[in-house]
Structure 1
Amino acid sequence: MAGDDFAWSVTLVGEDQSDKLATLAQYLDDGHSASGDGKRVPSGYAYWGIGPTIAWFNASNDPTYMVIKVGTEMFRRQWRSISPLVTDECVHLVSLGVGTGAKDGMFLETMLRANPSMLYIPVDMSAEMLRTGSRTAVRDAHFPLDRSLGLQIDLSLDGNLEELQQFLDRLVGEESILYSLVGNTVANFDDDAEFLNGIARVLRPQDRILVEFATTEDLAPGTVHAAEAEYRQTRGFVEFVASAVRYNTDLKIDLDQVRFTGSVEDESILLKVYWQNAGGEAIRMLIPGSRPIHLEPHDTIRLYTTRKYTTVRIDQLVAGAGLRTTHRQRERFRHTQRQNPFGLELRLLAHDENAPVELPTFDVWN
């Protein structure tokens, strides 16, 4: 296939996609809430399927979405500083959430020069995102197609993380791995600490993980409102967050009914994006293969969750996951004339040998 002009890509699908649709239906029938805390699209499902994949690529290429545009250039500078440490310590790349593939392409271009025999293993819940993003990364970096293998699994499930660890042990042996978790992915999970803890358990002493966090310099009310506006002003992003419901249900979402609400929680700004039934009557929503769901007036569906972290919170997340920071790059956004409290921080993390060991628990009654 590597010598063929046809657009081949190789992906191992680890989950039954009909099960994923059934799980999404359960989350979309999860109780009434007027504040985005009941029915919701869980992390990962926002990108699941060809419709959301296209919507994310469109949002990422929207010239008014300055967070992505400026953030990619900032990442390029930060990666240039950290990359010598990575190429000295890591051989293979495992990308946890491939996205558009632009950042993976930067990784591959640098790491391939240092380790021509390296493997590229992109991992994502969305098979469509895997194919589209990983092909972009491979093409941009002129990476050998026969050294790339995609894995379709949901990283939020502990059983899948165990399978990933066993698979990689058989694939690369004792050779070191760089795990990449960029694009502020940690912030998209309802329990960000629990998610990072699960990922950290996969790391071996010789491995490293590169994590990107969206940052804020303060938690003042004006800063919270600025975070809401940062996402609300980009139509491409609003269309993306609505796409998972639009493409997997028959609900017709009016983008004017998408709300952005921020709050301070755990030394970070928590941003909820949700659709609300602003009419005076119940709306019937149908998901293929499931019974109808009735959305009462003022009921909501949370479409997306994200955060902006203070340094204090990032330190808490890293330490709580049993990790230590070996290098960091932090930079504030400079694309506006007025002072901007937001930015990005890139951390290279390793297993902390001094962290307390969490022993497995057993059911004594069995």
Structure 2
Amino acid sequence: MLPACISPELQYAISCEVRNGLFCEGQKTLSPWLFYDEEGSALFERITELPEYYPTRTERALFERHGAAIIATAAGKQRLSVLELGAGTATKTGILLEDVVRRQGSVRYIPVDVSASALDEARISLERRLPGVHVHPMVRNYVLDPLDRPMVDGRLLALYIGSSVGNFSPEEARAILRNLASILRPGDALLLGTDMIKDEETLLAAYNDAAGVTAEFNRNVLRRLNREMGADFDLAAFRHIATWNPHESRIEMHLQALRRQAIHFPSLGTIECEAGETLHTENSYKFTTQSLRDLFADTGFRAEKQWRDDRNWFSVTLARLLPD
């Protein structure tokens, strides 16, 4: 299979991830940003609608209940613009944007994502449904690339919702928030959505749904490497595994080889997987009150106000930069 026609920059970024994660000693890994090609983004949208996947509907309910208060707290007496990391199709974000439009008539919205197709869908949907929302998409890998401050009037509210911060190691999460802090100014705010620790049965069900959508989402990363790197993964030879690691406070997703196999990458060479060996594709860290407090302190933010659901399953926190 010939590699798909993608930009040289993206080809290089994927090649680096594969080289560093698969052509290595010990545990083979793939970065979670690789999930989000067009098909992966669509599969994730399906995941958010599954009965087992509580994070999306719980966070959505918080926005529906407290959206006006969130926006009023973020804006104060100034005009507000909104930037979002990992926006995807911005389905939940529309709730908050509607509150901004209701408050000030219109809003400049800058969604940042690696998936151009998801951003196109977000722009078309939001501008059709909310005429006061002016969407300025930014196709960018916010994990690897530096951020630029958009041209805005008044305050900027940065959204990092959906507990996306939990997909990264504590060190990576802190680097992302520090990178974000570097483009914020006094008075700007961060709205961070985080999934909290809860019973293991609920956590595991959310990442191993009965319909198998998460399994397909996980295996799609191999399909992407076949298409864009010319690899020859046999998707049927890997099974999806989700486990809870209590020592690291995280769900782990793996792809386990069902038989011994060799996978060839035309530009990089060949890797071998033993039967039972896994490719570690994603972590989803869960937070406590203390670990969330530490995350803000270590990245230069101070929590100003927090909203949680009645079961304390999910937290939405508005934070601002600490003074120099």
Normalising by the residue count of structure 2, what TM-score does the alignment of the two structures yield? Answer: 0.85
The gaps in structure 2 that reach 5 residues or longer are 1-5, 227-231
Aligned: 1:351 with 2:316: no
Matches within 5 A, 1:214-233: 214-216=195-197, 223-224=199-200, 226-233=202-209
CA drift at 1:15: 8.2
Change (3 A) 1:296 1:329: same
Distance 1:66 1:344 in 2: 9
Distance 1:332 1:286 in 2: 50
Matches within 5 A, 1:154-173: 154-157=141-144, 160-161=146-147, 164-165=148-149, 168=150, 171-172=151-152
Moved more, 120-129 or 224-233: 224-233
Aligned: 1:262 with 2:229: no
Aligned: 1:69 with 2:57: yes
CA drift at 1:63: 4.4
Contact 1:25/1:287 (<8 A) preserved: no
Distance 1:72 1:113 in 2: 18
Distance 1:63 1:225 in 2: 14
Aligned: 1:151 with 2:138: yes
Percent identity, aligned pairs only? 20
Distance 1:198 1:15 in 2: 24
Specify the SS of the correspondent of 1:16: helix
Q: Report the residue type matching 1:345 in the other structure.
A: S
Residue-by-residue CA offset, 1:292-335 (whole Å, 9 max, x unaligned):
332233322112211111111000001111111111101145xx
Q: Report the residue type matching 1:307 in the other structure.
A: Y
Q: Report the residue type matching 2:215 in the other structure.
A: V
Aligned: 1:86 with 2:66: no
Q: 1:253 aligns with which of 216, 235, 243?
A: 235
Specify the SS of the correspondent of 1:293: strand
Question: What is residue 229 of structure 2 aligned with on the other side?
Answer: none
Question: What is residue 251 of structure 2 aligned with on the other side?
Answer: 271
Change (3 A) 1:139 1:44: farther
Give structure 1 regions of 4+ aligned residues with deviation exceeding 4 angstroms. none
Change (3 A) 1:107 1:75: closer
Work out the number of aligned pairs and report it.
Answer: 310
CA drift at 1:61: 3.1
Matches within 5 A, 1:1-366: 16-33=9-26, 38-47=27-36, 49-88=37-76, 89-144=78-133, 147-157=134-144, 160-161=146-147, 164-165=148-149, 168=150, 171-172=151-152, 175-190=154-169, 191-216=172-197, 223-224=199-200, 226-234=202-210, 235-249=212-226, 250-254=232-236, 257-265=239-247, 269-279=249-259, 281=260, 283-287=261-265, 289-333=267-311, 343-353=313-323
Residue-by-residue CA offset, 1:170-189 (whole Å, 9 max, x unaligned):
x22x6311111000011011
CA drift at 1:195: 2.4
Contact 2:238/2:256 (<8 A) preserved: no
CA drift at 1:241: 2.4
Distance 1:216 1:140 in 2: 35
Contact 1:274/1:303 (<8 A) preserved: yes
Specify the SS of the correspondent of 1:298: coil
Distance 1:154 1:131 in 2: 16
CA drift at 1:272: 0.9
Q: Report the residue type matching 2:289 in the other structure.
A: T
Distance 1:188 1:70 in 2: 18
Contact 1:96/1:179 (<8 A) preserved: yes
Distance 1:236 1:100 in 2: 18
Distance 2:286 2:237 in 1: 24
The gaps in structure 1 that reach 5 residues or longer are 1-12, 218-222, 334-341, 358-366
Q: Report the residue type matching 1:247 in the other structure.
A: R
Distance 1:19 1:138 in 2: 34
Distance 2:115 2:11 in 1: 13
Distance 2:183 2:215 in 1: 34
Distance 1:51 1:287 in 2: 21
Contact 2:239/2:255 (<8 A) preserved: yes
Specify the SS of the correspondent of 1:120: strand
CA drift at 1:254: 4.1
CA drift at 1:211: 0.5
Distance 2:200 2:255 in 1: 19
CA drift at 1:231: 1.7
Contact 2:252/2:284 (<8 A) preserved: yes
Change (3 A) 1:22 1:203: same
Distance 2:159 2:45 in 1: 20
Change (3 A) 1:60 1:230: closer
